[in-house]
Chain A
Amino acid sequence: MKRINSVEDLEREREKIRAARDPNKPCITICTGTGCHAAGCYPVAGALREALRTGGIEGEVDLRITGCHGFCERGPLVVINPQRILYQRVKPDDAPDIVSETLKKGKIIERLLYVHPLTEEKIVREDDVPFYKLQKRIIFGNNGNIDPTSIEDYLAIGGYSALAKALTSMEPQQIVEEVKKSGLRGRGGGGFHTGTKWESCRKASGDTRYVICNADEGDPGAYMDRSLLEGNPHSVLEGMIIGAFAIGSNEGYVYVRNEYPLAVENLRIALDRANDWGFFGKNILGSGFDFNVKINRGGGAFVCGESTALMASLEGQPGEPRAKHIHTVESGLYEKPTNLNNVETWANVPYIVNLGAEQYRQIGTDGSKGTKIFSLVGKVNNTGLVEVPMGITLREIVYDIGGGIIGGKRFKAIQTGGPSGGCLPESLLDLPVDFDRLTEAGSMMGSGGMIVMDENNCMVDVAKYFMNFLKEESCGKCASCREGTKRMYEVLHRITEGNGREGDIALLEDLSFVTAEASLCALGGTAPNPVLSTIRYFREEYEVHIKNKKCPAGVCKELITYRIIPNQCTICGRCQKVCPSQAIRGKIKMKKPFEILPEKCIRCGMCSEACKFDAIEIV
């Protein structure tokens, strides 16, 4: 491909691509995001290709491998365009049917449709599925329509038009103003106003400036950035070029986790293709603006998601944060002014430039504009990635989009904001989700993790889990964070083991204070959130653990015993078969209810799961 040297050339090429495509030509898109990949989308894709060939309609139907559609719970997902028929949980064996029935005869295959869990109505079109219907997918929506490795796909949906607009008809300062006006706030967790940040960086003294895309997403259970990079890397790159132009930078970096091989791969392909087309390098689109991006793979430290640690890591130093009394926009990477934004923030930029700040401001609340992608996981029916407007309530996310709690159990808490976020209880379900409201409630937006918990989750155990993660991932520089998280884990551990002491809650509060107040970076500063928020909203649960040595949720192994309820035991022997430690006494012949020997029981819960008659209880 020869470089495009002007906006006119770009539009001409775009028209060429569009002209070569028939919008009514059937096209099967297969989601190959992380969730669908795990569910086995590639065999499905292979089977579909094979079926198309044997069916003899190979040339008449396009087959497109796309990034994540978001509805991971129901993967592998197949969408048939132009009708937008959604088939879920497709298996390779279904491929011939899809070809012969749907594509050839235009019939819907009922068994592959999504069934509404309440109304039991079968839903045909993707957009009618409640999971998608209530979302506002301005950033994430294109994932399902394009092949991430194909720049033509991205151009066909209007890609790089924002760049063309920015380079030719806008002054850098004007772009900054536009972003400022849009109210876009950093999606990586800090929630700092992006426009303000750009402006400070633009005004900082020095010739060399850097822009960085932070794709070191390390929160357990969060994969928004990953899916964006895997599914639509060009949108992120386009945002970066516009940002660099606005700030006055000629060099950029993408710091991406090495644990995301597909994201790295797709990003690299996207970068190469964009380079070929002339969206990078010298004199981009004939505007005289030069910009290059390098991809840097992270070494797997959670703390490298912190901006100064990330920059240290980019420089080749150990990934440790440093004091930010002089902001990174003034002295960041190699002590030069550096603007760092998260993947999702960058992906928002083309949208804002294209449609203008006014339109963007329509979405969201007073303090938080636009949409936010959340990864909704845990004990919720529809796990997956959801993009919702700011200000939506937690209830809408969990019940309307998420489809409620698995097995109709009771909602207990939702953990937002990754390991440093907090757990919010049922009473706060109507809390509108935006940066400020979440912080007020003792949690945070973070990068957008949402873990739903039901009555079978022990909050002390949850706090312990996150503290374990944090103590491992603290860089260890600050004594307060390194020792504080370790000691908090220790205290939580002993509470869950039944060795909790009077005053342990106060001790945890002391430790939380010192970890948050005395540590350097945001990791230490927010590390106590899981503990503090669970103490704040679930104090009784802690007290029961400490005083009564009981775990109400039946999670903490040392505090529970399994018991067979004699009246309900049908003497089937199932529990005895699955018990790994021969802790269940009884014989079917004896016709007497089985018994669990407490001294042998390792409290694995296998028997309880195996019992079909709910005859095993936790006391």
Chain B
Amino acid sequence: MVELTVDGQAVGAEKGKMLLPICLDAGFDIPHLCYNESVRPYGACRLCLVEVRKNGRGRMTTSCTYPVIEGIEVLTQTEKVLRARRLVIELILAMCPGDEEIQEMAREMGVEDVRFEKEEKDCILCGLCGRVCEEVVGANAIHFANKGSNREMIPPFAGEATDCIACGACVTVCPVNVIGMREESDERTIIRWKRTLKMKKCKVCGNYFAPWFQLEKFRQQAGLPTDFFDTCYSCRE
């Protein structure tokens, strides 16, 4: 355990934990977009900036990637921090002016309009979908491509994500809801990754319950009998 102070308040934390979850747990509001505790911290959105003072020297850093150490002094609401956050959200808003979540966040931080030409992107490039696909799902169906302002999250060669099992983890984790999933009778489509998979029909009740490809993958991974997924979860005895 280490002791630190956040905005003057003493906070205890487990050594090696990142600063952001500790501050959030302690009730400090720090905006963030690219953080999810199930994946490794990444630090792409730069919204969770705080000032950390150590041995009398202060500097600004993203709290999601900062491992706590004994005796640091964390400031979450200084003028410098707020200014940087406002500018970051302004930049993100200028990139994705149509995302309601971003609009809401910007409004809360006091950013009403942007001073730049608005782009028409929707993805904020936080990378959560790709990281979840790699670290939680293990499918590695999507990844960042290109660099600089051409950066984008895409399936291989911007085609169909052929390794995608349509589990939808990316759809749920997306902070701005732009991946999208559609289920129509016997098909499930992950819209953004252009991936459509046929659904398996339960032998007993006749309901479609999961994509073929996904079940087949699970079956092979776990070495289950071929008829294991013939019935849905509810019909399995």
Contacts and interface: CB of A to CB of B under 8 A. Distances in A.
**Chains A and B touch each other in the complex, with CB atoms below 8 Å apart:** yes
Contacts of A507: 115
A513 interface: yes
A479 B65 contact: no
Interface stretch (B38-46, B180-188, B210-218, B224-232): B38-46
A514 B148 contact: no
A479 B147 contact: no
A478 B42 CA distance: 9
B141 interface: no
A475 B144 CA distance: 10
Contacts, number: 104
B65 A514 contact: no
Given A484-B91, A514-B91, A323 B65 contact: yes
Interface string A437-459: 00000000000000000000000
Interface stretch (A175-183, A243-251, A365-373, A515-523): A515-523
A209 interface: no
Nearest to A326: B67
A301 B146 CA distance: 10
A479 B149 contact: no
A482 B125 contact: yes
B4 interface: no
Is chain A's binding surface mostly helix, strand, loop or mixed? helix
B157 interface: no
B87 A511 contact: yes
A484 B91 CA distance: 7
Interface string B74-97: 000000100110011001101100
Q: How large is the interface on B (under 10, 10 to 19, 20 to 34, 35 or more residues)?
A: 35 or more
Given A480-B91, A483-B92, A513-B84, A323 B147 contact: no
B45 A479 contact: yes
Interface string A468-496: 00011111111110111111001000000
Contacts of B65: 322-323, 325, 520
A303 B80 CA distance: 27
B91 A323 contact: no
A476 B117 CA distance: 19
Interface residue range, chain A: 20 to 34
B233 interface: no
B87 A471 contact: no
A338 B104 CA distance: 44
A473 B147 CA distance: 7
Given A482-B151, A514-B88, A325 B46 contact: no
Interface string A497-514: 000000000010011011
A471 B149 contact: yes
Interface string A313-328: 0000010001101100
Contacts of B95: 479, 483
A41 B218 CA distance: 64
B50 to A, nearest CB: 11
A322 B149 CA distance: 19
B66 A325 contact: yes
B60 A518 contact: yes
Contact of B147 (A301, A322, A478): A301
Contact of A514 (B41, B61, B87): B87
Contacts of B67: 325-326
A322 B42 CA distance: 8
B84 A472 contact: no
Nearest to A474: B148
B62 interface: yes
A312 to B, nearest CB: 12
B148 A473 contact: yes
A479 B44 contact: yes
B91 A487 contact: yes
Contacts of A485: 148-149
B87 A476 contact: no
A49 B91 CA distance: 62
A471 B92 CA distance: 16
A517 B66 contact: no
Nearest to A481: B46
Nearest to A507: B115
Given A323-B65, A507-B115, A476 B149 contact: yes
A294 to B, nearest CB: 25
A478 B92 contact: no
26 contacts: A301-B147, A323-B62, A325-B65, A325-B67, A471-B148, A473-B147, A475-B147, A478-B44, A479-B44, A479-B45, A479-B47, A479-B88, A480-B46, A480-B91, A483-B91, A484-B91, A485-B149, A486-B148, A486-B149, A487-B94, A490-B116, A513-B84, A514-B83, A514-B87, A518-B87, A519-B46
Given A323-B62, A472-B147, A480-B46, 20 more contacts: A318-B144, A323-B43, A325-B66, A471-B148, A477-B43, A478-B46, A479-B88, A479-B125, A483-B149, A485-B148, A487-B94, A487-B116, A510-B87, A517-B84, A518-B46, A518-B49, A518-B62, A518-B87, A520-B43, A520-B65
The 9 closest A-B pairs by CB, nearest first: A476-B151, A514-B87, A483-B91, A323-B65, A518-B46, A486-B149, A474-B148, A480-B46, A518-B84
